[in-house]
Structure 1
Amino acid sequence: MKCIFSLLCLVMVSVMSSQAQIFQKTDWGAKAVINSTGVEVRFYSPSIVRIQKWPAGSDFNKQSLSVTKTPEKTKFSVAQQGDRLLLKSSKMLVTLNLKDGAVSFQDVRGNALLNEKAQGASFTPFNDAGTSTYSVGQEFTLDKDEAIYGLGQQQGGKMSQRNVTLHMVQGNTDDYVPFFVSTKGYGLFWDNYSPTIFEDKPETTLFKSDVGDGIDYYFMVGGSLDGSVACMRDLTGQAPMFPLWTFGFWQSKERYKSQNELVGVVKKYRELGVPLDGIIQDWQYWGNNYLWNAMEFLNTEFPEPKKMVDDIHNMNAHLIISIWSSFGPQTKQYREMQPKGMLLNFGTWPQSGMEAWPPNRDYPSGVQPYDPYNPEARDIYWRYLNKGLFSLGIDGWWMDSTEPDHLDFKPSDFDLKTYLGSFRKVRNAFPLMAVGGVSEHQRGVSSDKRVFILTRSAFAGQQRYGANTWSGDVNSSWQSLRNQIPAGLNFSLSGIPYWNTDIGGFFAGSYNRGWGDGSGAKNPLYQELYVRWLQFGTFTPMMRSHGTDVPREIYNFGKKGEPIFDAIEKSINLRYAMLPYIYSTAWSVTKDQSTMMRALAMDFQDNNVRNINDEYMFGKSILVAPVVHAQYTPETIVKTDENSGWNKGDKKDNKAVAVDFTQSKSAKAYLPAGTSWFDFWTNTKYNGGQEITLATTIDKMPLFVKAGSIIPFGPKVKFATEKKWDDLEIRVYEGANGEFSLYEDENDNYNYEKGIYSTINFKWDDKSKTLTIADRKGTFPGMLAERKFHVVKIAANGNKTEKEVVYKDKKVTVK
């Protein structure tokens, strides 16, 4: 009997031991080997978990280029139920199937969020330029009725990214970020930098990458679209504050050809009294293409660059200048980097040493991109940038071709060696490394001037580098304008909050033909498109006019008193009036991980808004419904790319069109359910949950304010910091309770990171019709000791009630 009992005990111990060996609990989660595949579940926080899979017997140790967060100590439980291993934090339940290795995710209430597909992981042996590795993929199952957003910026015009296939390789007008958020309240970041396919079909959703030693992704539970974006920023870095002047109006074109022309544009704006905060110098200030991106003013048309910068600063404007990710063979940078193997030998822009079009291949430019993955190469890049341009006082960087341009592509180009392996392995992270190199170096030498980078491409985590991404060299067409809205919204939902577009589109040459003076700015076809694009640009994180062929400065479109000039000026003035609102919203982006351009699904539980691709919220209060169809002129179809767009002579002339821009037109807009809305222009109140038709004019697009909103309006100025905010208009839109926090600091340094800033909280109680202005919190040098608030209450019937309030940093109640 004793022997039988001992035998039973031995069998039980053996079974328990074999079961226990199926997985190993770690300090951060658990590991297991299942069907020859290693699997690790690792909590980075209660809301974020990392899933890694790799072929058993191989090593998979990866230092992420995007992720900056290290795992925080997270309380979690581990329990086994048959073939299932359950890991539970305070925010989610992760289930690992110990039989097939599939992982599923639930919230703490047991609601299913996302499931890996059974046998959905794939590892295909791959020879990566002589290194044995894998192509890796993972399939997931999504609910048929959930919407997903993000995945970077594409020009397809879609809002929800369901039923799409994306070939993720960075391009001129497409920026890929392998991260999406779901209306079910979660986000998924596929942490891989090689060319990747994202494919969503009714039966499966797939990420598949060319190169990877293993599968590596992060799942995060945010509870909402906002919350999931906040998790992504927690994982990959927070967005810093931009200087106040970056939120003003910016003028640019391809390109100002002399120092006198550049300075003259700023002078003209000042003479006209039209607000302007910055001007941008595009390429070729360095001279010929063999000196491409020399980061010096070698062009004889710019003889006194320091004086040029000082002249612009003396007019209270700022200068941003074009720099590239490549160098011509006669530059100092090329000659220093080339012997060290720091250049990537593939076709890039420009293709010829001659400026004429088409490129003369008999005289190749020899321009090559540099290797930004190499820390020494990034050091060299900054050393020349600092000496040649930053030392002159230039205020920011226009980092062009950060994807970079990859022309005449050959598959063997991916075999090129970088500091971190093959170019294929790290391809899509090129913009992250290039932008990050400049940002980190500037932060290392100056805390008085905030980093501001305008860049053409982006990757996950780039928000931490003080960069605003623009949508590339898009066409000057109505369809292109329509595409920009969902492009910008999905980009913002990829965790990167700062985005803008070339106002008017980049390639506008077709509007010149048929006009005697060669100026498409006098062509009504282009005038209407430009005005509507500018109105949209007023409500983006950066308001920047730019493009080729058609000059974009306001005075090219006419003069004061004429409909087009006045419409342009009206939008620019509105932008400046909203600066207190915009700057405070920027603070909520930095402090609270908020988003400035907001898809309607972020704020409204209204299924009708999930796929709306032509409206959005700007901040939490303003609904923007741009006019994106021609109302006064016929729409012109323009199709170009980065090659054909430069060809000026192969299109038909436009016919002159007689247009009366003083006529009234109409447009439709959908107002989300769950709140009431006020027409910004007339104060007419509408109930949400309906589509309305309202009158528009060339100087006015549909614009609404959510009931319960509190919006500060600033003084009329010619540049952002011309006047202190000592007499703000505070508009209160009744119909719901509301709050707003007015943020102020020194406008352009990093002292805010040390707590040197102030906030004033406004709270509206709709029932008692009382506005409470709280005690001011915080201080900074130069802050106002006393100010006026001109409070304007907008009632449901459109009537206004106005009161003057003297505020001395102490609580005030206004009834």
Structure 2
Amino acid sequence: MITTLIATRMTAQSIEQTKQGVQFSAQNLDVKIEFYSNNIVRVYKTPQGVSYNKKSLSVVKLPENTTVSFEQKGNTTVLKSNSIQVDVNPVTGGISFYDNSGKLLLKDKDYGTQFSALDDAGMPSYTIRAGFLLDKEEPVYGVGQIMDNKFNRRNSSHHMQNENMSTYSPYFMSVKGYGVFWDNYSISDFNDNPQELSFQGIGHCSDYYFMYGKNADGVIAQVRDLTGKAPMLPLWAYGFFQSKERYTTQDESLDVLKKYRALKVPLDVIIQDWRYWPEFHKTDSLWNSQSFDKERFPNPKKWADEIHKLNAKLLIVTWPGFGPKTEQRKEFDSKNMIIKFDTWPPKSGARPYDVYNPEALDIYWRYLNKGIFSYIGNDGWWLDSTEPDHINKKDSDFLLPTHLGTYRSVKNAFSMMHNKGIATNQRLTNDNKRVVILTRSGFIGQQRYGSNTWSGDVASSWEMLEKQIPAALNYTLMGIPNWNSDIGGFFAGRWKKDGGNNNPEFQELYVRWMQFGTFCPMMRSHGTDLPREIWNFGERGSWCFDAQEKAINLRYKLLPYIYSTSWDVSHNNGTFMRPLIMDFANDSKTHEIGNEYLFGRSLLVAPVTQYKARNWQVYLPQGSDWYNFWTNEYYKGGQSVATETAIDKVPLYVKAGSIIPFGPEVQFSTEKKWDNLEIRIYPGADGEFLLYEDENDNYNYEKGIYSTITFKWNDKEKKLTIEDREGRFPSMLKSRKFKIAIANRNDVIADSSPKSGKLISYNGKKIVVKF
């Protein structure tokens, strides 16, 4: 390491200049500042004279070669890349971050980092607090999935302990275009008040990353650069999922799939919930044995094969806890790889394995692979209770040892590590099948593992539906793109006394939740107390059945748009659920709006969250003009619009300049080729869309085996250019037809379908279509 000693003019303090940063001591702290890139700066602090070698669970990036200039201004040392300026005061320990124009972004508060000695179950440790100074009215987002119906996280406090329905990471993003990730996995606290924003947790160092992206997209790109990209999920993962708590036999779930096929209602995935394993006289001592009960699942391989023959996929639930009579538990116990508190279900004696131990992750997969994956060939995993559930909590439980320290010091990373073990081992076992994981918790870095976090066992209520939206948006702003919820809410017992599935209010709640689910990264129906399959709400021709079918069919029509968005998420660090601040931060009204969002870069969704609401206020941000998706009515941005919302229509608007591909009507995602897509153009601005296609599963896209077609709309010339196709893959369409339809703002229609369009042939070579 190259070091240069820089003496300050007025004190005896000094700073050592390193290749891409500085190190110094101040306020009894040793501080290291290092540029990881032009846009990312790491700040690492330990008590003076107490070194600690931090190995991150989340961060995968190594420092890249970055040109950093150094300058001394009085007592201040100034470090600059081509994007960020960092001012350091070695007397107070204060650190200030600026953009390259000199605009102040954030202050690491003078005297703001504190270490208080802590005995962590016999291990010398610290309670650590890191404080920051923000502008008084500066909105920030992130922190986690929090069910408080708030979007802006200013002036709030949160105990960051990952549990069912609460998923946190010590991270925030500012509307000013920067983010901070405090790399700590302990049970922690976030607090923001007029004096400061702070994180407090336990550990041996204060370790954070300042990331500058200019805007929300840029910050998310830096988060992914730092902690890992999100891989592509297969096309089928964007279809419709059906499950319940629970299908008790292999025939029951197979019959559900057959009935969907008979009704011709689209479906791609069946999920098998808990207790498919032997119940051992119903004491649950064989809980999560990762094997099948011979009476209820006599031929699980044939069951999975039958599901596949019906062109559907199978997800199987597996838990982190094991009953005392399971072979897994016996091996984990013998190797001291069990965290010794009781997990779900109560009174079973089940306990979670130590996900922080790399060997334990491999052992877990060995059983899972032998008992399920390589045996029946399932297509994905439902990882329940990944916080995990904790029965009869005692304070002493949090002091229990894990491979990486006390449970409380690493608890919030449990889901990420559990997901890591399964995802990495599955890829090693079979690299031809993309990892798909449904999981109940998360942490920054988990996006690397093909994981989709759901919001937990939420109540079936209008209030809870409303809370889902800002919770999802803050979660996705942490750089973790995949999120979903139980359509209709998990616990629906409150509706039983009033007619259950025939209760009009529950039916309407379910329909509105399904409309929200249509515009989430995963569309999944699940719950307990009341069955959720579509026929339980009535027959075709009844309003509740028809409204659900309309939402499901719309989801499938949008698959070319959704799958192309998935490529944008994976390749360009994009985001599915885009809070309005991502695209319209200059419109200050968007800073507090957490009940509507863009799905992809074109569709503005404002889910209805109140009973019998047939008129819904939707804010259309300034900076674009808008079309009502259902009617083609045209609106200027910067206004609230009273939107008629029939029970079968979610308020949905399209940004002017959008180009949206619509696919065929299908019963499952890959039933028909995309050889006759409708390309719908919404004039009013120039626009561009990249249509992405590949083999729909496997990881060949990582080797460049995919194709893209770019569509460009010139609004002034009313001209659509379809560029040369880029790339190729073996099953690629060599020629196809596109129906080009223009949304006419003067042609108000009764539904979303345009009246006419130009049919053109395309063979991969550039075409210009004029209107």
TM-score after normalising by structure 2: 0.96
Asked if 2 retains the 8 angstrom alpha-carbon contact of 1:165 and 1:200, the reply is yes
Name the residue aligned to 1:568: 548
Instruction: Find the aligned partners of 2:477 and 2:212 in 1 and give their Cα distance.
Output: 15
Residues 34 and 561 (structure 1), Cα distance of their counterparts in 2 relative to 1, 3 Å cut: same
Instruction: Find the aligned partners of 2:588 and 2:9 in 1 and give their Cα distance.
Output: 51
Shift of 1:20: 9.2
1:283 correspondence with 2:274: yes
Asked if 2 retains the 8 angstrom alpha-carbon contact of 1:735 and 1:796, the reply is no
User: Any idea what the Cα deviations from partners look like across 1:305-361, whole Å, max 9, x if unmatched?
Assistant: 001000100000000011001100111100111011100111211112xxxxxxxxx
Name the residue aligned to 1:579: 559
1:716 correspondence with 2:665: yes
Asked if 1 retains the 8 angstrom alpha-carbon contact of 2:94 and 2:110, the reply is yes
1:462 correspondence with 2:457: no
Name the residue aligned to 1:731: 680
Specify the code of the residue in structure 2 equivalent to 1:347: D
1:802 correspondence with 2:757: yes
> SS at the partner of 1:321?
strand
Shift of 1:407: 2.4
Asked if 2 retains the 8 angstrom alpha-carbon contact of 1:770 and 1:813, the reply is yes
Name the residue aligned to 1:64: 56
Name the residue aligned to 1:547: 527
Shift of 1:79: 1.5
1:471 correspondence with 2:483: no
Specify the code of the residue in structure 2 equivalent to 1:278: V
- Which of these residues, 600, 615, 622, is aligned with residue 603 of structure 2? 622
- Which of these residues, 350, 353, 371, is aligned with residue 370 of structure 1? 353
Asked if 2 retains the 8 angstrom alpha-carbon contact of 1:685 and 1:798, the reply is no
Name the residue aligned to 2:290: 295
> SS at the partner of 2:315?
strand
Asked if 2 retains the 8 angstrom alpha-carbon contact of 1:181 and 1:229, the reply is no
Task: In structure 2, list runs of 5 or more residues that go unmatched.
Answer: 749-753
Specify the code of the residue in structure 2 equivalent to 1:342: M
Instruction: Find the aligned partners of 1:15 and 1:87 in 2 and give their Cα distance.
Output: 15
Name the residue aligned to 1:31: 23
- Which of these residues, 179, 186, 190, is aligned with residue 178 of structure 2? 186
Name the residue aligned to 1:6: none
Name the residue aligned to 1:426: 410
Residues 14 and 783 (structure 1), Cα distance of their counterparts in 2 relative to 1, 3 Å cut: closer
Instruction: Find the aligned partners of 1:751 and 1:514 in 2 and give their Cα distance.
Output: 52
Specify the code of the residue in structure 2 equivalent to 1:292: W
> SS at the partner of 1:320?
strand
Name the residue aligned to 1:117: 109
Instruction: Find the aligned partners of 2:109 and 2:260 in 1 and give their Cα distance.
Output: 59
Name the residue aligned to 1:644: none
Specify the code of the residue in structure 2 equivalent to 1:369: P
Asked if 2 retains the 8 angstrom alpha-carbon contact of 1:402 and 1:455, the reply is yes
1:343 correspondence with 2:334: no
> SS at the partner of 1:179?
strand
> SS at the partner of 1:610?
helix
Shift of 1:796: 2.7
Residues 80 and 296 (structure 1), Cα distance of their counterparts in 2 relative to 1, 3 Å cut: same
What does 1:604-623 align with in structure 2 at a 5 Å threshold? 604=584, 605-623=586-604
Instruction: Find the aligned partners of 1:506 and 1:321 in 2 and give their Cα distance.
Output: 18
1:535 correspondence with 2:515: yes
> SS at the partner of 2:709?
strand
Instruction: Find the aligned partners of 2:166 and 2:294 in 1 and give their Cα distance.
Output: 32
Name the residue aligned to 1:505: 489
User: Any idea what the Cα deviations from partners look like across 1:186-226, whole Å, max 9, x if unmatched?
Assistant: 000010011111001112111111x2212110001100011
> SS at the partner of 1:427?
helix
Instruction: Find the aligned partners of 1:163 and 1:16 in 2 and give their Cα distance.
Output: 37
1:444 correspondence with 2:428: yes
Shift of 1:261: 0.4
Aligned residues: 754
Name the residue aligned to 1:10: none
Q: Which is further off, 175-184 or 582-591?
A: 175-184
Name the residue aligned to 2:71: 79
Instruction: Find the aligned partners of 1:556 and 1:427 in 2 and give their Cα distance.
Output: 40
Name the residue aligned to 1:778: 727
Name the residue aligned to 2:627: 678
Asked if 1 retains the 8 angstrom alpha-carbon contact of 2:211 and 2:222, the reply is yes
1:761 correspondence with 2:710: yes
- Which of these residues, 205, 218, 238, is aligned with residue 247 of structure 1? 238
Specify the code of the residue in structure 1 equivalent to 2:60: T
TM-score after normalising by structure 1: 0.91
Asked if 1 retains the 8 angstrom alpha-carbon contact of 2:27 and 2:111, the reply is no
Asked if 2 retains the 8 angstrom alpha-carbon contact of 1:221 and 1:227, the reply is yes
Instruction: Find the aligned partners of 2:6 and 2:435 in 1 and give their Cα distance.
Output: 62
Shift of 1:558: 0.6
Residues 91 and 20 (structure 1), Cα distance of their counterparts in 2 relative to 1, 3 Å cut: farther
Q: Which is further off, 402-411 or 468-477?
A: 402-411
What does 1:250-399 align with in structure 2 at a 5 Å threshold? 250-288=241-279, 289-298=284-293, 300-352=295-347, 365-391=348-374, 392-399=376-383
User: Any idea what the Cα deviations from partners look like across 1:749-786, whole Å, max 9, x if unmatched?
Assistant: 00000000000000000000000000000000100010
Specify the code of the residue in structure 1 equivalent to 2:196: T
User: Any idea what the Cα deviations from partners look like across 1:360-397, whole Å, max 9, x if unmatched?
Assistant: xxxxx110000011111111100000001101110000
Name the residue aligned to 1:706: 655
Name the residue aligned to 1:165: 157
Instruction: Find the aligned partners of 2:624 and 2:162 in 1 and give their Cα distance.
Output: 40
Instruction: Find the aligned partners of 1:366 and 1:373 in 2 and give their Cα distance.
Output: 21
Instruction: Find the aligned partners of 2:726 and 2:658 in 1 and give their Cα distance.
Output: 21
Instruction: Find the aligned partners of 1:96 and 1:443 in 2 and give their Cα distance.
Output: 44
Specify the code of the residue in structure 2 equivalent to 1:550: L
Name the residue aligned to 1:690: 639
Task: In structure 1, list runs of 5 or more residues that go unmatched.
Answer: 1-12, 353-364, 633-664
Instruction: Find the aligned partners of 1:16 and 1:465 in 2 and give their Cα distance.
Output: 47
> SS at the partner of 1:764?
strand
User: Any idea what the Cα deviations from partners look like across 1:557-594, whole Å, max 9, x if unmatched?
Assistant: 11111111000000000000000000000000011101
- Higher Rg: 1
- Which of these residues, 68, 72, 85, is aligned with residue 93 of structure 1? 85
> SS at the partner of 2:108?
strand
Name the residue aligned to 1:789: 738
Asked if 1 retains the 8 angstrom alpha-carbon contact of 2:624 and 2:655, the reply is yes
